[in-house]
A and B are shown apart, each in its own frame.
Chain A
Amino acid sequence: MNAPLIGARIERKEDYRFLTGAGQYTDDVTLPGQTHAVFVRSPHAHATLKSIDKSKALKAPGVLAVFTGEDLKVGGLPCGWLITDVNGQPMKEPVHPSLAQGKVRHVGDQVAVVIAETLDQAQDAAGLVEVDYGVLPSVTSTDKARAKGAPQLHEIAPDNTCYVWAIGDKAACDAAFSKAAHVTKLDLVNNRLIPNAIEPRAANGMYSRADDSYTLYVASQNPHVERLLMTAFVLGLPEHKVRVVAPDVGGGFGSKIYLYAEDVVVTWASKQINRPVKWTCERSESFVSDAHGRDHVTTVELAMDKDGKFLGMRVKTTANVGAYLSTFASCVPTILYATLLAGQYTTPVIHCEVTAVFTNTVPVDAYRGAGRPEATYVVERVVEQAAREMKLDPAEIRRRNFIKTFPYQTPVALMYDTGDYEATLSAAIKMADVAGFPARRKASEAKGKLRGLGYAAYIEACGIAPSNIAGALGARAGLFEAGEVRMHPTGSCTVFTGSHSHGQGHETTFAQVVADRLGLPIESVDIVHGDTSKILFGMGTYGSRSIAVGGTAIYKALDKIIAKGKKIAAHLMEAAETDIEYDRGVFKVAGTDKQKTIGEVSFAAYVPHNYPLDKLEPGLNENAFYDPTNFTFPAGSYVCEVEIDPDTGVTKIEKFTAVDDFGNIINPMIVEGQVHGGLTQGIGQALLEGCKYDPESGQLITGSYMDYTMPRADDVPNYQVDTRVTACTHNPLGVKGCGEAGAIGAPAALMNAITDALQVYGINDLPMPASPQTVWKTIQNAKQKKAA
Chain B
Amino acid sequence: MSIKVSMTVNGKPVSAQVEERTLLVTLIREELRLTGTHVGCDTAQCGACTVHMNGKAVKSCSMVAMQAEGANIVTIEGIAAADGTLHPMQAAFKENHGLQCGFCTPGMVMNAIDLAKGNPNLTETEIREGLEGNLCRCTGYHNIVKSIAAGAKAMAK
Contact = CB atoms under 8 A, between A and B. Distances in A.
A19 B94 contact: yes
Nearest to B105: A18
A704 B29 CA distance: 23
Given A25-B38, A200-B40, A714-B128, A15 B75 contact: no
Interface stretch (B52-60, B65-73, B136-144): B136-144
B122 interface: no
Given A199-B103, A503-B101, 9 more contacts: A15-B94, A16-B86, A17-B102, A25-B38, A198-B48, A250-B40, A710-B137, A718-B124, A719-B142
Contact of A198 (B79, B93, B95, B136): B136
Interface string B12-32: 000000010100000001100
Contact of A23 (B102, B137, B142): B102
Contact of B140 (A30, A248, A676): A676
A705 interface: yes
A74 B145 CA distance: 49
Interface string B86-126: 10001001110101111111100100000000000000110
B45 A251 contact: no
A694 interface: no
A474 interface: no
Contact of B79 (A20, A250, A681, A712): A20
Interface residues of B, number: 58
Q: A interface, how many residues as a size bin? A: 35 or more
Contacts of A718: 124, 142, 145
B129 interface: yes
Which 8 pairs between the two chains have the least Cβ-Cβ distance?
A21-B36, A250-B103, A18-B102, A503-B101, A680-B140, A503-B100, A676-B140, A21-B76
A77 to B, nearest CB: 25
Among A12, A21, A30: residue with most chain B CB under 10 A? A21
A252 to B, nearest CB: 8
A199 B143 CA distance: 20
Q: Is the interface of B mostly helix, strand, loop or mixed?
A: loop
Contacts of A711: 140-141
A670 B143 CA distance: 11
Interface in A239-258: 248-251, 253
Contacts of A30: 30, 33
Interface string B34-56: 11111111110110100000000
A120 B101 CA distance: 28
Interface in A200-222: 200
Given A20-B80, A248-B102, A673-B143, A12 B129 contact: no
30 contacts: A12-B97, A16-B94, A19-B94, A21-B35, A22-B77, A23-B36, A30-B33, A196-B137, A198-B38, A198-B104, A198-B136, A200-B40, A251-B101, A251-B138, A283-B46, A505-B100, A669-B97, A673-B139, A676-B141, A676-B142, A677-B139, A680-B139, A681-B140, A704-B41, A710-B45, A710-B135, A712-B131, A714-B131, A716-B140, A742-B140
A30 B76 CA distance: 20
Contact of A704 (B43, B79, B80, B138): B43
Contact of A15 (B39, B93, B124, B136): B93
B139 to A, nearest CB: 6
Contact of A199 (B35, B42, B94, B101): B101
A446 interface: no
Nearest to A195: B137
A567 interface: no
Given A23-B36, A198-B137, A705 B43 contact: yes
Contacts of A12: 94, 97
A698 to B, nearest CB: 22
Contacts of B105: 18-19
Nearest to B86: A19
B94 A11 contact: yes
A22 B36 CA distance: 6
A19 B93 contact: yes
A249 B30 CA distance: 19
A677 B138 CA distance: 5
Nearest to B103: A250
Interface of A: 11-12, 14-25, 27-28, 30, 120, 196-200, 248-251, 253, 282-284, 502-505, 669-670, 672-673, 676-681, 704-706, 710-714, 716, 718-719, 742
A462 to B, nearest CB: 18
A672 B39 CA distance: 27
Contacts of B35: 21, 24-25, 27-28
B127 interface: yes
A250 B102 contact: yes
Contacts of A253: 137
B108 to A, nearest CB: 10
A248 B142 CA distance: 23
B99 A18 contact: yes
Contacts of A680: 139-141
Nearest to B40: A198
A736 to B, nearest CB: 20
A679 B45 CA distance: 21
B133 to A, nearest CB: 9
A26 B20 CA distance: 26
B132 interface: yes
Given A18-B102, A19-B90, A714-B128, A673 B97 contact: yes
B125 to A, nearest CB: 8
Among A17, A199, A681: residue with most chain B CB under 10 A? A199
A676 B93 CA distance: 15
A199 B39 CA distance: 8
A670 B96 CA distance: 10
Contacts of A16: 86, 94
